[in-house]
């Protein structure tokens, strides 16, 4: 469907961006905490981690379809070639990780040899991913990949937020207002 030209993301894109960002940051923090022996209630946190991780997978799948069918607002015209390239690579990397990291997590628990019943939000049984046979070696490999994926998300996060803040405070080109319309003067919202 044709979109009216605008210089900010749509309400749906903004809601998805901030919901997924918040969930991912919590998943990374609680993911690292729950794997520490000293963490109280860590096995409960595992179940919440898996549940919210699957929510991120579903929301990110929807967001990708939304993104491919809805044109984003144009980037500020005075961005240098390498800046446009860096923004595009970061966004594509984020989409790959927003879908890839939870899939690796799901594959990891599917490969587990432990008899743990996975129930999303203690309600919906999470089936194993098809085609994955349970083995300690496969689980360990997937665990390693899941952790690398989470670290890559953190790396992209630092680059992404650094870029957003540079645009806001140094270039002052309104890029942050594309995702936080309240930062815009009233007449441009
Ligand atoms: C965007 C979504 C996700 C993020 C950012 C994320 C992040 C993390 C992080 C940072 C860790 C700790 C690092 C480690 O020791 O492995 C972790 C561990 C873990 N994650 Fe996720 N995760 C996500 C989704 C999922 C999903 C969907 C599942 C399963 C359905 C899952 C299952 C696990 C499990 C079982 C562990 C513990 C691994 C261990 O015992 O070492 N994760 N995750
Ligand atoms: C883990 C957390 C985050 C993830 C995964 C994430 C992901 C993304 C993605 C994929 C886009 C591209 C949207 C599209 O075209 O479809 C985007 C745009 C944007 N994000 Fe984030 N983001 C996160 C956190 C943040 C934070 C904390 C800020 C603010 C400090 C921010 C500011 C922006 C801005 C201003 C844009 C639009 C500007 C542009 O097109 O480059 N993001 N984000």
Q: Is the pLDDT of residue 5 over 70?
A: no
**pLDDT for res 174:** 82
Does any domain span residue 5?
no
Give the pLDDT confidence score for residue 1 in this predicted structure: 35
In a domain, 120, yes or no: yes
Report yes or no: 174 and 76 within 8 Å, Cβ to Cβ.
Answer: yes
Ligand 2 centroid–CA 146 distance in Å is 22
Nearest CA to ligand 2 atom 38: 175
CB-based contacts of 87, cutoff 8 Å, min separation 6: 75, 79, 163
Which ligand 2 atom is nearest residue 153's CA? 1
Chain-centroid distance, C-alpha 149: 11
Identify whether 1 is part of a domain. Answer: no
The residue contributing the CA closest to ligand 1 atom 21 is 105
**Domain region containing 19:** 11-188
Residues 86-135 pLDDT 10s: 999 999 999 999 999 999 999 999 999 998 889 999 999 999 999 999 99
CATH number of the domain within which 44 lies: 1.20.950
Could you give the CA distance from residue 56 to residue 18 in angstroms, rounded to a whole number?
A: 12
Q: Which ligand is nearest to the CA of 63?
A: 2
Which is nearest to 33 in space by CA: 20, 21, 46? 46
Number of domains, the chain = 1
The pTM assigned to this predicted structure is 0.94
What distance in angstroms lies between residue 114's CA and the mean position of ligand 2's atoms?
37
Residue-wise pLDDT tens digits, 161-189 = 999 999 899 988 888 988 998 886 655 55
Residue 140 within a domain:
yes
Residue written as tokens 């015209």?
A: 77
């Amino acid at each position: 469907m044709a979109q009216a030209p605008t210089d900010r993301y749509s309400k749906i894109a903004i809601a998805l961006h901030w919901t997924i960002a918040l969930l991912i940051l919590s998943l990374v923090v609680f993911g690292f905490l729950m794997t520490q022996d000293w963490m109280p209630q860590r096995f409960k946190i595992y179940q919440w981690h898996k549940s919210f991780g699957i929510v991120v997978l579903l929301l990110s799948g929807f967001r990708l379809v939304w993104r491919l069918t809805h044109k984003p607002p144009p980037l500020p015209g005075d961005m240098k070639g390498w800046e446009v390239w860096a923004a595009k690579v970061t966004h594509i990397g984020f989409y790959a990780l927003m879908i890839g990291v939870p899939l690796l997590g799901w594959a990891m628990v599917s490969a587990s040899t432990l008899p743990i019943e996975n129930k999303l939000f203690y309600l919906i049984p999470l089936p194993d991913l098809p085609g994955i046979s349970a083995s300690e070696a496969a689980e360990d490999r997937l665990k390693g990949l899941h952790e690398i994926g989470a670290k890559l998300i953190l790396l992209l996060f630092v680059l992404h937020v650094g870029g957003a803040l540079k645009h806001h405070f140094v270039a002052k080109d309104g890029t942050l207002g594309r995702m936080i319309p309240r930062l815009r003067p009233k007449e441009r919202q």
